[in-house]
Chain A
Amino acid sequence: DGGITQSPKYLFRKEGQNVTLSCEQNLNHDAMYWYRQDPGQGLRLIYYSQIVNDFQKGDIAEGYSVSREKKESFPLTVTSAQKNPTAFYLCASSDRSLPQHFGDGTRLSIL
């Protein structure tokens, strides 16, 4: 089955800790994206990558980091510098002529 897999579904972070969210796709898409969703809000773009070994900051990149070493993987690290990390994180992918397809998200909470 082709799709986007995000893991874990739920994640808890202690104060001062970095955590990494996984996103894997087997759709052979070039571009991948990370969005953050807060309750009652739309999605906001954190980072995106149009090709392996390259990525760009979105609207709210501060406190986050990414890597794109493989076409199918785009992990997101929420660093201790992100002071309000509690949110629903969504990963998406697309090809040049296709719309973005989303995974089912990771819900991050602070302990």
Chain B
Amino acid sequence: GENVEQHPSTLSVQEGDSAVIKCTYSDSASNYFPWYKQELGKGPQLIIDIRSNVGEKKDQRIAVTLNKTAKHFSLHITETQPEDSAVYFCAASRGYSGGGADGLTFGKGTHLIIQP
């Protein structure tokens, strides 16, 4: 089955700086890669996703890049703010239409700390 590795487990950055979180996956048939943000005691919230026919996607301060050959994808957050502090998870799926209908395989998460 699929295996997703996520690094680093903890990332501390100064407010206003950029943060980068990296994930690798093992199943070459995976075609959908979402990123979730989870705050304490809450369920994960989707922040951005990318499908395998695209190399990069951007939404305001957040961007995701995908390298299918190397089987890795990354989350980039620019101009970080205190409200960006949370746990971030990457995931991968081979579900049809990229909707993850077969279920997602998650990385173990990155605790992002924004220092004021």
Contacts and interface: CB of A to CB of B under 8 A. Distances in A.
A31 B100 CA distance: 9
Sort chain B's interface into a size bin. 20 to 34
B101 A94 contact: yes
A16 interface: no
Nearest to B34: A99
Interface residues of A, number: 29
Contacts of A50: 101
Contacts of A45: 103-105
A90 B44 CA distance: 9
Contact of A104 (B6, B42, B97, B109): B42
A59 B97 CA distance: 21
Given A96-B99, A97-B99, A100-B100, A42 B108 contact: yes
A42 B99 contact: no
Interface of A: 4, 6, 31, 33, 35, 40-45, 48, 50, 58-59, 90, 92, 94-105
